[in-house]
Chain A
Amino acid sequence: MHIMEGFLPHPWWELWFAVSIPVVLYGIYRLNRMSKTTPEAKPLLALMGAFIFVLSALKLPSVTGSCSHPTGAGLSAVVIGPAITSVLSLIVLIFQALLLAHGGLTTLGANVFSMGIAGPVVAYAIWAVAKRARIPSSIGIFLAASLGDLFTYVTTSAQLALFLPNPTFFEALIKFGTIFAVTQIPLAIGEGILAVILFDFLAKYKMELLSTLKVIRVPVTVPAKEGGK
């Protein structure tokens, strides 16, 4: 669930645009570079975009008695990086702002930041640690995708609490956190499991590509390919 149209006043909406635009531009640069240097990754880009499309279309019931939807951006951040994920998130958010009155054009900067940058960066960082610590990939992906999803909504809550810190920022954060982040907990767990399934499939069928993209290490039993940069 994103911040609704017109619900971020001046100067906050401009601020979030200012933060998000450079990341999206860098993402477009990375996207172009990846399609040039690793053209075989193009179907993977489409797959990650599609995963985000499906998950963010599914409004699911939660334990707070309200609904929200997962984002799918965590897995994308792990596989193709947070910068490119911000571009994919932007596409989905524009689709939803224009056709579904969900989110909004004035809040696009803030929503790209929470869904396409903050959550994905957390997911990416968790995967980087899990990879280094040699934690089983299923557990690493589950943690990355679910905590990334959850952090997106913690960010949304913080964005609202920042402009309306009534009575204090922390009390407002808890209030909006109850609305957004607590609702998100079971959804985040579900997203984590779905991400594990898709990643497991990719690890089986697209192992070489994943190691070229440095998502996974090539196991010692498999000879590393030359020129995989």
Chain B
Amino acid sequence: MNAKHYMALIAITVVIFALPLLLFPNANFEGADGAAEEELTSQGYEPWFSPVWEPPSGEIESLLFALQAAIGALIIGYFLGYEKGKMKKGIAKEPLRTEG
């Protein structure tokens, strides 16, 4: 696979992730865990323990989720760039072709 294949695959992924928003404009898109919570509480189940700390607002929550994604993306980007750069400088061997 080359860069073009990667771009095509990423484009397909974006479409898959975005499609539900277009198909169901009136859905509320709440968390599936929230739906399960409703189902369980409607059957009379009461949680016996509550989270030790909760983000005080939706903004703080999205801040922390963004932070989580950013930390991961930083490491992935560093790794990919490092490996590519190493190969370009000829430190490593030429990329080897893979089957499939």
Contacts and interface: CB of A to CB of B under 8 A. Distances in A.
Q: Are the chains A and B members of one assembly?
A: yes
A98 to B, nearest CB: 7
Given A104-B51, A166-B43, A176-B36, A196 B98 contact: no
A53 B98 CA distance: 27
A106 B51 CA distance: 9
Contact of B49 (A5, A62, A216): A5
Contact of B31 (A49, A66, A198, A201): A66
Given A4-B36, A136-B100, A138-B100, A65 B68 contact: no
A164 B40 contact: yes
Contacts of B54: 101
A3 interface: yes
A50 B75 contact: yes
A102 B53 CA distance: 10
Interface string A1-14: 11111110100000
Interface string B88-100: 0000100110111
Contact of B100 (A92, A139, A164, A205): A139
Given A62-B20, A66-B29, A139-B100, A51 B69 contact: no
Contacts of A227: none
A129 interface: no
Given A53-B72, A136-B100, A190-B13, A63 B39 contact: no
A2 B33 CA distance: 6
A204 B96 contact: yes
Interface stretch (A24-32, A112-120, A179-187): A179-187
Given A1-B31, A136-B99, A186-B20, A205 B36 contact: no
Given A61-B17, A222-B96, A7 B40 contact: yes
Interface string A183-215: 110110110011011101101111100000000
A68 interface: yes
Contacts, number: 196
A207 B87 CA distance: 13
B40 A200 contact: no
B87 A7 contact: no
A54 B73 contact: yes
A97 interface: yes
Contacts of B75: 46-47, 49-50, 53
Interface of A: 1-7, 9, 43, 46-47, 49-68, 92, 95-102, 104-106, 134-139, 160, 164, 166, 175-176, 179-180, 183-184, 186-187, 189-190, 193-194, 196-198, 200-201, 203-207, 216, 219, 222
18 contacts: A4-B37, A4-B47, A7-B40, A53-B68, A63-B19, A65-B20, A66-B34, A68-B31, A99-B53, A100-B65, A164-B40, A164-B45, A197-B6, A201-B80, A205-B87, A205-B95, A206-B83, A219-B99
Interface of B: 1, 6, 9-10, 12-13, 16-21, 23-24, 27-37, 39-40, 43, 45, 47-55, 61, 64-66, 68-69, 71-76, 79-80, 82-84, 87, 92, 95-96, 98-100
